[in-house]
Structure 1
Amino acid sequence: MKIKVETWTLNDLVNAQGKINPKPQYQRTSVWQPPKKKLLIDSILRGYDIPKFYLRKTPNDLIFNYEVTDGQQRMRAIWEFIEGKFTLDEATFDNINTKNLSYNKLSKNNILKHTQFLNYPITVAIITEASQEEIRTLFAR
């Protein structure tokens, strides 16, 4: 198994959405409740560090280039926020009131914060040449 660590932005993650299989066989279903999703987005907006994502390269897959090995819940939360599936609760930072803040409102009302959000760096570990057993072992840790 080989692992190459890369730095992506949230914009890169959004653009790759159709190329990433978020639910390979070994992944659990989406279990994060809205408060946890909101907390993740709040952390990103505040510039806090979040854990890295693990993606397995799938060269033989005709649909997807990658599958999520670790980070599925976080990835889904980011995609869902951008798709407008939830808004944030009330908090204030950087002179922004986040009560009912949606991605749409962020993009229209605060261009600087919107740009910072899309340019937020994430660490992505790309796994290649790994057997299903190695992936299961990595995910189980």
Structure 2
Amino acid sequence: MISTLRLIQNQILGGVLFAIASVMIIIASILEENIEIQKENGGEIAYTPSPIQITLFAFGIITLATLIFAYNVTVRLNQTNLQMLTGKAKGYLRPLLWNFAGSWLFVFGAFSLLIGTKIILEEKSAIEIF
């Protein structure tokens, strides 16, 4: 059985990862804005890593954070269910079931963002020969 303290520490880690990734996405967006402004002014500017590379990395971090959240909810659901079956706890599983479903949908969404962004990066870096 995983302790409540460990689950809370996992939640903190997931939250920190999510916050770091969010800041990275903001930075990538600002860089992309600078690139577009330069293009409108007739200049070319390139950043290494590119905004899309930063975004891809950030979505990877978000996917990891969502996996941590989903794992925690799954453990809490299993532990609460076991406690209810043995008579150590009373209540309802419905809220935890909603959290369980939502957290795993969140993982699916984050993973989808990761795949989509990777495809965009590959398409931007591909050289077309006519």
TM-score greater than 0.5 by the shorter chain: no
- The structure with the largest helix share of the pair is 2
Q: Which has the higher contact order (CA 8 A, sep 6+)?
A: 1
TM-score (norm 2): 0.28
- Computing the radius of gyration from Cα coordinates, the structure with the larger value is 2
TM-score (norm 1): 0.26
- The structure with the largest strand share of the pair is 1
